[in-house]
A and B are shown apart, each in its own frame.
Chain A
């Protein structure tokens, strides 16, 4: 197909601003699916995604649309809508020439809108502003257009006012996509280069690579090469998502589709890699983007040590469809054998955790998530650690660095004070404040990731009565004055309860921490002393009192069934606990160390 009539674009939006509804409407208007087939949010095909109303994995669909007497091929590459999956947004954008930035007409520009716009600008795609939900009574398209112009620099008179729900303005938007978005560059005669922008594993066909062809073309039965690994494969099938997988004989320059090439292992395919012709390879791969970086780490231990291999199998299964999550065996002196897992962010972690439990019957104890740190050793060597327990002895450390992010918060003007106070307490430095309009403000901070990754968002939601939105992106690692807080339970140090915090509030955090632990650890038949140590020095102590009485006085014939139920429930309450010596520590105790509230 003539690249002149191809348009590759993504839709980016803040959560719930109507991205998926718009995609559905486009699929319908282009006849790609019928209204009857249009299940709600067709592009999100995992249960958890649908339940949480977010898109996790990018997917792509090819539509045909008549405009001014020509048939255009529109390739819509879907993107995830959450901060944890930024890198997936950027890899989707890397396969496009244009992006539709969708903003809710009643909500206005949100933090994610800004973050997405930055990503689009960095990728160099053409951005079209789309104001959605103009049918809502609370819609203020003019105010929102002002905001878009002010914050994002997109001219307000160039924004499209639509209602994805009713279909209003969507046809005009499709026309504009054909009219205004750039066509892919014509590079048909150059050596083949196709960008792998996503992949998934199919139990019968192996790995399915999602590709965008930038030059040359791909043909069935061609021998292709993945430039990163240097491995070659025979292309057994090429196709497009319409939206069902539909085989084609070739994919030309500018086109988007999939490759099946008998690739066994998802790990063999690096998303961002370039596919070329094995016989006539391109001299250089396409400019790739940064591989995803795991920013949040947490240990997963089987509640019962004998289930270690079952847990491993479960993780292996999960990585088949999510290469951005990592796991390595971990042996904790206190908790035994488990896995250290790396996630893109907290939401990513929760999703993995949920899938792990839903898809497997394993009792799991998970430690509190922590960010990764950079340790500059005495010999100048730089090490990345994902657990406080991996921190080397102080005498070997020259410098300890923690990750910093650029944090954007958009909120109402009346909550500025509260949010600034919280941000200050969390060591965030205000970079700039920008009034979107007299009632809404955008604040940009330089923030330590560790301080905002856990409950920060909930807190600003609380302060702003649900109004504030935030987004962040990693910028760098910076040396700060960090110390490790250690916890001793019954005299025994528990590595999984250690945390790294800033020295200035270490003591206060430590004291708070054991109070939380005291509440979270159930009473035993003996007293359980809890101690906090900083740098080997005990700074605080609490005791979980022993329980003295726990027995049903009367159990006779009439009570058997009922009492058995009560006992089963009591046993159930012991699940998700980990034995450390003779002390049972429940899941919630590991998580309680992150709770900074009073």
Chain B
């Protein structure tokens, strides 16, 4: 094993479980998922647990995250089986998140999650406007979203987050402000605010291609983003990553692990891992996944071993997405490289243009660079 990946070997990884089912597919979603209808859910859960068992020898995981798809589209008993087993295998995770769909997560399901040690919930609310929810293909209503979040809070969850999407066709700066205010008023700990992206292969992408919908003006998109940063800051949310905001101490540790380029293990169809210096991805097909697991074979389909340069660049790009930025000492420890030295050329230019700012032992994107981060980060994508 090459030296650069050595630090990650003894590091406790994050654990991600992918539930590849949804009640219906959302118009913007490019993640792998299938409709629940007619699926053998217990069999899939067994396969997930079987794959998870293969990592039994890993003594501890830092964080657990069950996402999808939609974990709450599983029957309650199956979700309980999944959560319980994982929690008992790795009882000491600092953070255990389950993604919830507002319309699906009922009070029984939520209390079961609480009982099993889940300590963080993330609700896919996306919007508080009916027209936007319809366009996005979401089945729930704004009221259901509010109700679900309140139920979770009433059950004692103290770390609850929601996802919001802005720059949805038809939205305005005003409608976005009202969505943000609704979110803030719910008194949660975490908000992710994503600019809508049109991913190839999604219904929204097709609709735009056919001219049925238009993406929103770039200036408006930018203004919506800036508005989110300002309003959320005023409400006490700290922006800690390009699209993520949290109250002090409630940053999603699982995702921070990814941006710190720490190792993680992905379980389930299409799930990706960064483990023992290798980036792998499981086969993105439920049946193929199940049959491989049941046959005792690896579910891995893509395999790539980042070399030292890849590791340096990945670490730089991922770190720079966070508001903490690159911690020079951590960077050196993780990659064995001097960040300021290997990226001297792009740093010189972007610092001169005020897109990157340096503090004590830290280098990060300037606020004005956030909305155009890719145009800066691309200069760190190769050496």
A residues in contact (CB < 8 Å) with B: 525, 547-561, 563-564, 567-568, 570-571, 574, 579, 582
Query: Does B34 touch A at the CB level, under 8 Å?
Result: no
The complex places the Cα of A365 from the Cα of B374 at a distance, in Å, of 24
Contacts of A553 in B (CB 8 A): 194-197, 242-243
Q: How far is the CB of A383 from chain B (nearest CB, A)?
A: 39
Are B264 and A557 interface neighbours, CB within 8 A? yes
Are B271 and A568 interface neighbours, CB within 8 A? no
What range describes how many residues of B lie at the interface? 35 or more
Are A551 and B272 interface neighbours, CB within 8 A? no
> What 1/0 flags go to B194-231 for Cβ under 8 Å of A?
11110000000000000000000011011001000000
Contacts of B258 in A (CB 8 A): 556-557, 560
The complex places the Cα of A552 from the Cα of B377 at a distance, in Å, of 10
Instruction: Give the 10 A-B residue pairs with the shortest CB-CB distance, closest first.
Output: A567-B381, A570-B378, A548-B222, A558-B272, A553-B194, A571-B378, A551-B373, A567-B378, A550-B372, A548-B218
Residue from the set A549, A552, A563 with the largest chain B CB neighbour count within 10 Å: A549
Residue from the set B14, B218, B304, B380 with the largest chain A CB neighbour count within 10 Å: B218
Are A550 and B373 interface neighbours, CB within 8 A? yes
B18 nearest CB neighbor, chain A only: A558
A sample of 23 inter-chain contacts (CB < 8 A) reads: A525-B353, A548-B372, A549-B218, A549-B371, A550-B371, A550-B373, A550-B374, A550-B375, A551-B195, A551-B370, A552-B197, A553-B242, A556-B255, A557-B258, A558-B31, A558-B266, A558-B270, A558-B281, A560-B272, A561-B272, A564-B381, A567-B377, A574-B378
The complex places the Cα of A559 from the Cα of B378 at a distance, in Å, of 15
B residues in contact (CB < 8 Å) with A: 14, 16, 31, 194-197, 218-219, 221-222, 225, 242-243, 255, 258-259, 264, 266, 270-274, 279, 281, 302, 304, 310, 313-314, 317-318, 321, 349, 352-353, 355, 368, 370-375, 377-382
The complex places the Cα of A159 from the Cα of B221 at a distance, in Å, of 74
Q: How far is the CB of A598 from chain B (nearest CB, A)?
A: 27
The complex places the Cα of A571 from the Cα of B355 at a distance, in Å, of 16
Are A571 and B281 interface neighbours, CB within 8 A? no
The complex places the Cα of A558 from the Cα of B352 at a distance, in Å, of 33
Contacts of A552 in B (CB 8 A): 197, 242, 373-374
Contacts of A564 in B (CB 8 A): 310, 313-314, 317, 381
Q: How far is the CB of B201 from chain A (nearest CB, A)?
A: 13
Q: How far is the CB of B153 from chain A (nearest CB, A)?
A: 25
Report if A555-B318 is in contact (Cβ < 8 Å); known contacts: A525-B372, A570-B375. Answer: yes
Are B272 and A549 interface neighbours, CB within 8 A? no
Contacts of B194 in A (CB 8 A): 553-554
Q: How far is the CB of A20 from chain B (nearest CB, A)?
A: 43
Partner of B372, one of A549, A557, A558: A549
A558 nearest CB neighbor, chain B only: B272
A551 nearest CB neighbor, chain B only: B373
Q: How far is the CB of A523 from chain B (nearest CB, A)?
A: 9
Q: How far is the CB of A564 from chain B (nearest CB, A)?
A: 6
Are A525 and B16 interface neighbours, CB within 8 A? no
The complex places the Cα of A567 from the Cα of B274 at a distance, in Å, of 19
Q: How far is the CB of A431 from chain B (nearest CB, A)?
A: 54
Report if A571-B382 is in contact (Cβ < 8 Å); known contacts: A549-B225, A560-B314, A560-B318. Answer: yes
- Starting from the known contacts A548-B218, A549-B195, 8 additional A-B residue pairs (CB-CB under 8 Å) come to A548-B222, A549-B225, A551-B195, A553-B195, A553-B196, A555-B321, A557-B258, A557-B272
The complex places the Cα of A574 from the Cα of B380 at a distance, in Å, of 13
The complex places the Cα of A579 from the Cα of B345 at a distance, in Å, of 13
The complex places the Cα of A549 from the Cα of B221 at a distance, in Å, of 7
Partner of A554, one of B14, B197, B313, B371: B197
The complex places the Cα of A551 from the Cα of B193 at a distance, in Å, of 13
Partner of A568, one of B221, B302, B381: B381
B255 nearest CB neighbor, chain A only: A556
Contacts of A582 in B (CB 8 A): 352-353
Partner of B16, one of A557, A561, A563, A568: A557
